[in-house]
Structure 1
C-alpha cells in the first residue's frame, strides 16, 4: 500500500472516529505530498515521499523547540501531538547502536580517517539511513567516529 493510499484510509477512519487533530495532520501531509508532485510534475517515488515526511517532522521539531523556548505550552502540546501522528508514517527509526554500526561500516568502506573526509562519509551514509535516523544525530555520531 502506497503512502497516499494509507493516508486516505487513515483519513476516512479519522473522520469516522471524529479525531479532528489527526485528520488535520493527515490533510497537511497529503497536501505536502501533492504539492511536491505538482512541483515535479509526476508521482513521487517512495524515497521522495519519505523526504517529504522527513521535512514535515523536521519542521515540527524546529517549531516545537522555538515554542518551548518562548514558553508557549499550548502550542508545544499541539505540536507534540502532531509530531506523533506524522511519525506514525515514518519507517522504524534506527537505534544509536545500529546507526553506529552502519557508520563504522561506511567509514571503513570510504577509508576515512579524519573529519576532513566527513563529506565523503555523509554522502555515502545518508542514502542508507534516510528517514530512519535524525540527520543531526547522524552528523554527531560521524564526528565522534572520525575523532
Structure 2
C-alpha cells in the first residue's frame, strides 16, 4: 500500500475513533499532498514525494515546538509535541548517532571533502543517501565538527 493511501486509511480510522489531534495532523498532511498533486498536475504522488511532505511537516512542528518552549507557552508546545508524535509514525526509522557519524564519514570520503567549503556537498550526499532518516540540524553540526 502506498504511503498516500495509508495516510487516507489512517485518517478515516482516526476520524471514526474521534482522535482529534491525529485527525487534525492528517488533515493538514492530506491537504499538503493534494496541493502538491495539483501543483504537479498528477493523479498520484510517489512515496518519496509524500515522505518529503511528511518530513517538512515534522520540521515545522519541531520549529514551532522550540519557539513555543522558548516563549514559555507550554500549552502550545504540548500540542505541537502531540502532533509531532502523530506525524513521526510515517517517517522511516531515524539513524542513531553512531550510524549518522559513519554515514557522514563515508560521505566525506566519497566526496573527497577536505574543508568547510565542501560542507554542502557532504550534506547533500548524506541527506540523499538517507532520505527521511536524518535530522538536518544534527547532521549539519556533525559535518561542521568533522570538517573543521
Q: Equivalent residues in 2 for 1:93-112 (5 A)?
A: 93-112=94-113
2:10 aligned partner:
10
1:19 aligned partner:
19
Q: Which runs of 5+ in 2 are unaligned?
A: none
Corresponding position: 1:31 with 2:27: no
- Please state how far the C-alpha of 1:125 moved relative to its aligned partner: 2.0
1:76 aligned partner:
77
Asked whether the equivalents of residues 127 and 134 of structure 2 are also in contact (C-alpha less than 8 Å), the reply is no
Asked whether the equivalents of residues 33 and 53 of structure 2 are also in contact (C-alpha less than 8 Å), the reply is yes
- 2:119 is paired with a residue whose SS is helix
Q: How far, CA to CA, are the matches of 2:137 and 2:95 in structure 1?
A: 13
> Which digits, 9 at most, give the CA deviation of each residue in 1:91-134, with x for residues without a partner?
11111110111111111111112112112212222211221011
Matched residues, number:
147
Q: Which runs of 5+ in 1 are unaligned?
A: none
- 2:18 is paired with a residue whose SS is coil
2:67 aligned partner:
66
2:138 aligned partner:
137
- Please state how far the C-alpha of 1:85 moved relative to its aligned partner: 0.2
Q: How far, CA to CA, are the matches of 1:105 and 1:60 in structure 2?
A: 30
- Please state how far the C-alpha of 1:15 moved relative to its aligned partner: 2.1
Q: Normalising to structure 1: TM-score of the pair?
A: 0.93
Q: How far, CA to CA, are the matches of 2:6 and 2:32 in structure 1?
A: 15
Q: Normalising to structure 2: TM-score of the pair?
A: 0.93
Q: How far, CA to CA, are the matches of 1:133 and 1:120 in structure 2?
A: 16
